[in-house]
Amino acid sequence: MSRVDKSMSLAGGPPVAMKTGQKVGTLLGLFGLGILTLATFNVSLPNQGLWLALALLSIGGGILVYSKSLYKDTLPGIKNHGVWLKSVSSRGFWAWVAGIALTGFYIVLYFFAELLGQGSGGAENTGLIGLFDPLSYALKGQPASQWFVYGTLYTLAILAFGIKFIWKYRHNSYEKIRTGSVMFFQTVFAFLIPEIMARLNGDLPYYDLKNVWPLNYYLFDQWNVDGLLINGSFGLTLLIWGIASILVITPILTYRYGKRWYCSWVCGCGGLAETAGDSFRQLSDKSRSAWRVERWVVHSVLVFAVVTTTGVIHSYLGDGSQYWFSRGTFLIAVGVVLTLLFGLIWKYKRHELKKDARYGAIGYLVIILALIGLHFSAASDNLLIFQTHEVRSTYGFLIGSVFSGVIGTGFYPIFGNRVWCRMGCPMAAILGLQQRLFSKFRITTNGGQCISCGNCSTYCEMGIDVRAYAQKGANIVRASCVGCGICSAVCPRGVLKLENTDTQGRINSNDVLLGNDVDLMDLVNQR
Amino acid sequence: MLLTLSTTDRSTNSPKMEHIVIIGNGISGITTARHIRKLSDHKITVISAETDHFFSRTALMYIYMGHMKYEHTKPYEDWFWKENRIDLKRGFVESVNTAQKSLQFADGSSMNYDKLVLATGSKPNKFGWPGQDLDGVQGLYSKQDLDALEVNAPNNKVCQRAVIVGGGLIGIELAEMLSTRGIPVTFLVREESFWNGVLPSGESAMINRHIVSHHIDLRLGSNLREILADENGRARAVVIDETGEELACDLVGLTAGVSPNIDFLKDSGIELGRGIKVNRLLETSAKDVYAIGDCAEQREAIGNRRPIEAVWYTGRMMGETLAQTLCGNPTEYKPGHWFNSAKFFDIEYQTYGWVFSDRNKADHEQHFHWAHEDDTKCITVAYHKDSRLFLGINTFGIRMRHEVFDRWLTEGRDVDYVMSHLKQANFDPEFFAHFENNINQAFAAQLQTA
Ligand SMILES: Cc1cc2nc3c(=O)[nH]c(=O)nc-3n(C[C@H](O)[C@H](O)[C@H](O)COP(=O)(O)OP(=O)(O)OC[C@H]3O[C@@H](n4cnc5c(N)ncnc54)[C@H](O)[C@@H]3O)c2cc1C
Ligand code: SF4
Ligand code: SF4
């Protein structure tokens, strides 16, 4: 390939060049974004409601027109032509432009909301946020906030790109139904219900029912818990729902279906990644070194989340008169639960864990227990050696903002669409541990049919080297797999199937594959 | 990538450390090397003239279509080879001296071996057509062929029409590849229907229609007479034998099958036929020289198999087997039930056991054919007319389980059992529509009329 510059030689031709419809769609979308940009710079737009509607319709409509043109003349089937030839999906110039623009948007959103026109101290909203006021009043009877603007655009992206995705995978029922599901949960649970609940009951903190702790890292913060509790039994129900979500519902569903029930069917972060991020799934890093980094980072985040949440709750519990627990009981309870958990894993699943995972588990357990012990001896108001609220705000800043938003989404076009889910999400880490150790879910490999082509690995957004398993006839049982089903969809030989069945024989590995001499298979594969 | 291969369980370790040299870094050579390393501490060298590292030849099409880059087609990361002490050498072996156990390279250097494994693969067939060596005429087998294609047919301005000669699996892949760049393709197929030497007529006809629906100009029953050159010695047109029609084109793809890549062995004294002759232990006529994969030719065909099996899976299976022999556990090549797979544009194809084409099937082989009305799914089940023994299945557009059919074939199930348990064999993703009921109704109806 050295002699030809691909992008040049391809210029103007399929599958890289845009068709007319795609260009129209792009222009329409840019027009919508243009309105939002004008509003951001406080160009006064009369009749805000109309302009807002125009902007949102143009963006959504642009995406649809683009997609229709892209897929309308094609037969149902895999649509990856030109993915690595196009600049935007192969870390080319346009990918960097998009990445920088998105990242810039997130930085402003998280740290400089006043630039978007957030009115502070009772002042009215202006600019972009002001433009969204009519919609916000209509839904919840309050002025918009930066989060309302973000939530609206986020939902719009999931809906419009979700339709694109369904077009793209129209031959694949699993993908269609799954995408319908993320579109539904985003629109109804993350967007409509919380806003409507807020309308009905102004004091209730925003609560996305499907947002489970530790992904919802502020669930147990004092302001949130108090906010829920002052709303009497309704708030209490929500709080109990929150606790049951992580302790009861999550383990059961993950046991039956794998973590996909959450990560690629329900979750909003996953929803954006699967729809708006779909064009970037091939950019995830599949190297062994990336896998090593991933395991350390994501499990560290989980530990960090557990520690800070414990610390936060601990810091406001007091002596037990205000809430039901005292600090002491709470810490002891946490310690007992964690010890039990690790004890059980250690007893039953030790042999299934790779060596380093084992070290990691032991190491972290020791740290947590030691630090809690430390606290008892010091008997101060600090958790560990830090001020609790500092740890907490560091967590919110690092994980909640920088990781999930700025890097997680802003860098879609560079690192792929699931960096956050893979490296930074504590919820994914918990579900992953459950999926790896206690679940019926696996991806079954179809005997000896794999031709090692690499499509599955390339299009795995979680950076799992699916082929490494498939080509030795092994099922894929990986903590990080979100069950998006794309590896199975793109496999040209029908080798992969996502399944929930017997836990017996779930983890396997064959040196000699099906199809060869039976005696040889027996000889080599029995160990 | 996964774990390092472990060398701890050397159940069949041979005492003396030997230098095992493998020519060819394709699936057969690499499988041998990996398994030798699992079983022993022998020194292993893998030689290739094509690429530095093992890549998946079956994925060549996806590079051109932009689904993957070359890097993605490498099944093992580059660190793998060093970590597992498999030495890689880039170079072309010009000759083999079996008496002195040495290899001579094109650059003049040489290398000695204790054991030699020939895993040199195939090359595209050329049947002596006038003009077959012109510029713009090429096959599709190697990484170099792919690079050439990128020069000959980078887009539909440089290449305004392509003609593909030979209606097999590689031909249809090439047609799909070119069509993704908007290049008009004329597809010359010698047979009266696509691949009907292998596929029963119903399936072959469905694929014909599918090819046409992808805007390929499919010419059945058409042979190439000659390729015409322009003043620069580039192909400018082809002439079709049957009609004498002259078709202007910028690329001619020769995909009329492959044959073993063994020219460099002509003077080696190793017994050659169409391929390198081997016995069931995969030994050639020369001591300590073995041959596997596409280049090996069985002295006697195994079961219904052809003496030369140019498919990915058999290369891998031979590699798995030969490694045992080389590590002190002599093992015959005894492949199990036949299976294979391919993809024709959007239609996946899998086969288990034997289903022969109308042309090649024996009298006792009866077929049950079911086709879905959307014209992208069908199956053909072959069974023995008298005993009703299940012989094999072809499935298009419906994925089926290898393990289940392998078991049924071993258990000697009859066709009625297979049909009534077909659900167990389904391997389509969750929520896909199931067709077992329709299929079984059709099967019952056929029994009544038969
Ligand atoms: C486009 C395409 C698609 C295919 N798709 C499928 C499929 O879907 N399913 C399937 O089952 N099969 C498929 N095949 C066939 C399959 O790829 C081959 O059967 C398989 O790769 C053969 O492997 P091998 O190890 O025997 O040889 P090869 O992979 O050909 O490796 C041989 C290597 O040896 C090197 N070599 C040869 N001679 C020398 C020498 N003298 N000195 C140095 N090096 C030398 C060659 O350069 C080459 O790199 C496909 C083939 C092609 C070309
Ligand atoms: S392994 Fe497959 S299902 Fe799991 S995340 Fe990767 S592509 Fe999705
Ligand atoms: S996509 Fe399918 S055939 Fe290709 S490497 Fe993955 S499992 Fe194997």
**What is the reported pLDDT for B359?**
93
Q: What is the DSSP letter of A116?
A: G
**CATH code where residue B177 lies:** 3.50.50.60
Last residue in a domain, options B256, B272, B294:
B256
B122 DSSP β-pair partners: B260
The residue whose CB lies within 8 Å of the most ligand 3 atoms, and thus the one to mutate among A455, A469, A471, A490, is A455
**What is the reported pLDDT for B292?**
98
Instruction: Tell me if B139 CB under 6 Å of ligand 1.
Output: no
Please state which of the ranges A12-21, A340-349, B151-160 shows the lowest mean pLDDT: A340-349
Q: What mean pLDDT comes out for the span B323-327?
A: 97
CATH architecture assigned to A440-525: 2-Layer Sandwich (3.30)
Question: What's the mean per-residue pLDDT of chain B?
Answer: 95
Q: Which of A34-43, A280-289, A326-335 has the highest mean pLDDT?
A: A280-289
Beta-carbon separation of A12 and B155 below 8 A: yes
Last residue in a domain, options B215, B239, B256:
B256
Whether residue A110 has pLDDT greater than 80: yes
CA A509 to chain CA mean position, Å: 30
Ligand 1 atom with the shortest distance to the CA of B141: 53
Whether residue A487 has pLDDT greater than 90: yes
Going by DSSP bridges, is the β-strand pair B115-118/B289-291 parallel, antiparallel, or unpaired? parallel
Asked if B261 and B118 touch (Cβ cutoff 8 Å), the reply is no
Structural domain includes residue B5: no
The set of residues, in sequence order, having a beta carbon less than 8 Å from that of A167 and lying 6+ positions away, is A67, A68, A70, A71
Which stretches of B303-388 are DSSP H helices? 312-326
Measured in Å, how far apart are chain A's first and last C-alpha atoms? 45
**What is the reported pLDDT for A3?**
43
**What is the reported pLDDT for A377?**
55
Instruction: Tell me which residue has tokens 């390393």.
Output: B37
Whether residue B1 has pLDDT greater than 50: no
**What is the full DSSP assignment across B238-281?**
EEETTT--EEE-SEEEE-S-EEE--GGGTTS---BSSSEEE-TT
Query: Which residue is closest in CA terms to ligand 1's atom 29?
Result: B26
Q: What is the DSSP letter of B101?
A: T
Q: What mean pLDDT comes out for the span A356-381?
A: 67
Question: What's the mean per-residue pLDDT of chain A?
Answer: 87
B278 DSSP β-pair partners: B298
3-class DSSP assignment, residue A447: coil
Whether residue A42 has pLDDT greater than 90: no
Structural domain includes residue B1: no
Alpha-carbon distance of A512 to B407, in angstroms, equals: 16
B268 and B377 share a domain?
Answer: no
Tokens encoding B209: 């229609």
Spatial CA neighbour of B337 closest among B404, B239, B279, B288:
B404
Whether residue B2 has pLDDT greater than 70: no
B227 and B210 share a domain?
Answer: yes
Residue in A closest to B77 by C-alpha: A287
B289 and B436 share a domain?
Answer: no
Q: Cis bond leading into A214, ω under 30°?
A: yes
Q: What is the DSSP letter of B414?
A: B
B80 and B181 share a domain?
Answer: no
**What is the reported pLDDT for B11?**
46
Beta-carbon separation of B182 and A13 below 8 A: yes
Residue in A closest to B426 by C-alpha: A497
Instruction: Determine which of A169, A282, A464, A517 to mutate to test the interface with B (most B C-beta atoms within 10 Å).
Output: A517
B166 and B228 share a domain?
Answer: yes
**What is the reported pLDDT for A320?**
64
Whether residue A374 has pLDDT greater than 70: no
Alpha-carbon distance of B190 to B188, in angstroms, equals: 7
**What is the reported pLDDT for B16?**
81
Structural domain including B215 reads 137-256
Q: What mean pLDDT comes out for the span A425-443?
A: 92
Alpha-carbon distance of B30 to B315, in angstroms, equals: 10
Please state which of the ranges A57-71, A123-137, A402-416 shows the lowest mean pLDDT: A402-416
Q: Number of A:B CB contacts under 8 A?
A: 212
Residue B274 to residues B122, B307, B352: CA-CA distances in angstroms? Answer: 11, 10, 27
Whether residue A388 has pLDDT greater than 70: no
Instruction: Tell me if A454 CB under 6 Å of ligand 3.
Output: yes
Beta-carbon separation of B180 and A78 below 8 A: no
B181 and B270 share a domain?
Answer: no
Asked if B292 and B28 touch (Cβ cutoff 8 Å), the reply is yes
Confidence of residue B436 (pLDDT cuts 50, 70, 90): very high
pTM assigned to the model? 0.94
Instruction: Determine which of B27, B35, B64, B72 to mutate to test the interface with A (most A C-beta atoms within 10 Å).
Output: B72
Its sign, for the CA torsion B414, B417, B420, B424, is: negative
Instruction: Tell me if A451 CB under 6 Å of ligand 1.
Output: yes
For the stretch B72-107, pLDDT in tens is 999 999 999 999 999 999 999 999 999 999 999 999
More confident residue, B277 or A217: B277
The set of residues, in sequence order, having a beta carbon less than 8 Å from that of A244 and lying 6+ positions away, is none
How large a percentage of chain A has pLDDT more than 70? 91
Structural domain total, chain B: 3
B141 and B104 share a domain?
Answer: no
**What is the full DSSP assignment across A269-337?**
HHHHHHHTTGGGGGGS--SHHHHHHHHHHHHHHHHHHHHHHHHHHHHHHTTSSSSS--HHHHHHHHHHH
Structural domain includes residue B409: yes
Last residue in a domain, options B236, B256, B276:
B256
Instruction: Tell me if A263 CB under 6 Å of ligand 3.
Output: no
**What is the reported pLDDT for A395?**
76
Structural domain includes residue B7: no
B250 and B270 share a domain?
Answer: no
Asked if A469 and A257 touch (Cβ cutoff 8 Å), the reply is no
Length of chain B (residues): 450
B118 and B265 share a domain?
Answer: yes
Q: Which residues of A touch B182 (CB under 8 A)?
A: 13-15
Tokens encoding A282: 């091939």
Beta-carbon separation of B213 and A75 below 8 A: yes
Structural domain includes residue B3: no
Ligand 2 atom with the shortest distance to the CA of A459: 7
Confidence of residue A382 (pLDDT cuts 50, 70, 90): low
The set of residues, in sequence order, having a beta carbon less than 8 Å from that of A345 and lying 6+ positions away, is A353, A361, A433, A437
Beta-carbon separation of B1 and A465 below 8 A: yes
B31 and B95 share a domain?
Answer: yes
Task: Name the strand (E) or helix (H) holding B124.
Answer: strand B122-124
**What is the reported pLDDT for A526?**
67
For the stretch B35-69, pLDDT in tens is 999 999 999 999 999 999 999 999 999 999 999 99
Query: Which residue is closest in CA terms to ligand 2's atom 5?
Result: A481
Instruction: Tell me which residue has tokens 């090593």.
Output: A292
Alpha-carbon distance of A468 to A471, in angstroms, equals: 6
Spatial CA neighbour of B36 closest among B334, B326, B328, B284:
B326
CA A423 to chain CA mean position, Å: 10
Alpha-carbon distance of B269 to B291, in angstroms, equals: 14
**What is the reported pLDDT for A522?**
84
**CATH code where residue B411 lies:** 3.30.390.30
Instruction: Tell me if B49 CB under 6 Å of ligand 1.
Output: yes
- How far is the centre of ligand 3, averaged over its atoms, from the C-alpha of B393 (Å)? 22
Structural domain includes residue B89: yes
For the stretch B135-194, pLDDT in tens is 999 999 999 999 999 999 999 999 999 999 999 999 999 999 999 999 999 999 999 999
Q: Which residues of B touch A16 (CB under 8 A)?
A: 66
- How far is the centre of ligand 2, averaged over its atoms, from the C-alpha of A283 (Å)? 14
For the stretch A252-309, pLDDT in tens is 999 999 999 999 999 999 999 999 999 999 999 999 999 999 988 888 888 888 887 8
For the stretch B100-126, pLDDT in tens is 999 999 999 999 999 999 999 999 999
B374 and B444 share a domain?
Answer: yes
Tokens encoding A521: 């298979």
Whether residue A224 has pLDDT greater than 90: no
Structural domain includes residue B394: yes
B343 and B444 share a domain?
Answer: yes
- How far is the centre of ligand 3, averaged over its atoms, from the C-alpha of A510 (Å)? 16
Whether residue B394 has pLDDT greater than 50: yes
- How far is the centre of ligand 3, averaged over its atoms, from the C-alpha of A488 (Å)? 8
**What is the reported pLDDT for A518?**
86
Going from N- to C-terminal start, the domains of chain A cover: 288-296+304-413, 440-525
Alpha-carbon distance of B305 to B302, in angstroms, equals: 5
More confident residue, B3 or A142: A142
**What is the reported pLDDT for B122?**
98
